[in-house]
Chains A and B, each alone.
Chain A
């Protein structure tokens, strides 16, 4: 198993307080890692450091040469009023290579195949705003897959989507992982997403724990991560995390 990315003693600040401190983390080939933590804990910063969008203020990031990374941002950050169609979004993935404004026949064919594969066949000329939440998420996944990535990074892929869409996204990512794509994602959804992943990293300004759900989803680790008491129950072989607010009987 080879390392795709290695973070060695990474710290980062945006000019103010430190957002992440002394993080050591290795992303191996074939990883399927979920990063959990409360809002403002540094999850997105960690992803941006992995992607190379940010340079750490301290520490070293080692990325395998010629590693093909693709990124799916949070759908909440997308400008849905931007005048753009589904196929134009997917075609962006080839932007770095091409100086030709119009797509070639082979590019259009590849886009159509990808959209078909993700259940979006026939949606090529639709405006992105005209799609449902799940379809919108899949358009951005199609753009990422257009690069045939070795590592797929997703920021909150199930945020703001309904249960059915969440299941679709989880199945899609599982299929991609099974077919050899390494996946790293951040999520707030412990029970619906993180608990189903083989590996979880708990972050709150520092890397608190990394391990399988059984190793990491414990009351003590979760309390250190979220700063609040949390209970872990087992139901049908699955771990379920519940918060236990103080003062409510």
Chain B
């Protein structure tokens, strides 16, 4: 068995491309996620989208439409509950997204979705990735790059100093909504390959690795997608040869890179990452 053997299969080639693109997109969006300390939102949204995916399957609605609307609705509800100030954002996420996740599990049980299909959604699978899905993920990537390019300064200002950005004329609420939309779409289109339970790690790990090696925001936006893409690509090959789920393989590789960079960069890297690593 050679290293390139899996590339003779179309399903693997599609899965490989989606994993590479998913790693790059998660790395890019992840920079904003970690710098805004929003890691828990990524984690929560992926759980919530699982509920939407299960409901879509039961109702016979298109997966991306149903799960996407569900995810967006959850994100808006989280924002609304948190803004009211009676409970914190983390508590709102805990209630709304886990309830959505539980609903997804219940629907799957009641309507008899195969255990294997649930496992594939939870932990990621390279099987059944179509060419159309590769194109869809590529479009999400182009959209994310276009949004970040067009709103680079506004997003940077709203991320670094939202209060002053607001006074300076940046519509902070709109920038936050744009970030939430990017995050929801990224999770929606990449969760099939990485899995609901592991997607937040792909959002966070490449960005934290990038932060450990650079002090520049612009360079972080280049390094994090490269790290994510490399972990996605190499992780897929490992997944095939080791016969483990694609999500687990990609995330374990990202965690390994994190440990190496953490060790090599020493105190400087840990200092850069600051509040991200305790």
Contact = CB atoms under 8 A, between A and B. Distances in A.
B151 to A, nearest CB: 7
Given A53-B167, A71-B163, A83-B220, A92 B215 contact: no
A14 B84 CA distance: 10
A53 B166 contact: yes
A90 B85 CA distance: 32
Interface in A93-132: 93-99, 101, 127
A240 interface: no
A96 B169 contact: yes
Interface stretch (B123-131, B188-196, B269-277): B269-277
A95 B275 contact: no
A133 interface: no
B256 interface: no
A81 B269 CA distance: 11
A92 B160 contact: yes
Nearest to B275: A81
B85 to A, nearest CB: 5
A180 B62 CA distance: 62
Contacts of A88: 156, 217
B272 A83 contact: yes
Q: Taking each of B150, B160, B272, which has the highest tally of chain A beta carbons within 10 Å of its own beta carbon? A: B160
Contacts of B161: 73, 78, 92
Nearest to B220: A83
A96 B215 contact: no
A21 B270 CA distance: 46
Nearest to A88: B217
Contact of A92 (B163, B168, B214): B168
Contacts of B153: 91-92, 94-95, 98-99, 101
Contacts of A77: 163
Interface in A56-106: 69-71, 73, 77-85, 88-89, 91-99, 101
Q: Taking each of A69, A77, A88, which has the highest tally of chain B beta carbons within 10 Å of its own beta carbon? A: A88
Contacts of A84: 156, 160, 216-217
A78 B163 CA distance: 11
B164 A73 contact: yes
A73 B120 CA distance: 48
A95 B167 contact: no
Given A83-B220, A95-B157, A52 B273 contact: no
Interface residues of A, number: 34
A147 interface: yes
Contacts of B13: none
B152 interface: yes
A96 B85 contact: no
Nearest to B155: A95
Interface string B211-244: 1001111011000000000000000000000000
A95 B272 contact: no
Given A71-B163, A101-B153, A81 B274 contact: yes
Interface in B156-186: 156-157, 160-161, 163-170
B215 A127 contact: yes
Contact of B150 (A73, A78, A99): A99
Contacts of A210: none
A100 to B, nearest CB: 8
Interface string A154-198: 000000000000000000000000000000000000000000000
A19 interface: no
B180 to A, nearest CB: 19
Contact of B156 (A52, A78, A81, A95): A95
A15 B167 contact: no
A95 B85 contact: no
B209 interface: no
A53 B163 contact: yes
19 contacts: A15-B84, A15-B85, A53-B163, A53-B166, A70-B167, A81-B273, A81-B274, A81-B275, A82-B217, A84-B160, A85-B215, A92-B153, A92-B157, A92-B164, A95-B154, A95-B156, A95-B165, A95-B170, A99-B150
Given A83-B214, A84-B216, 6 more contacts: A70-B167, A71-B167, A73-B163, A77-B163, A91-B153, A99-B153
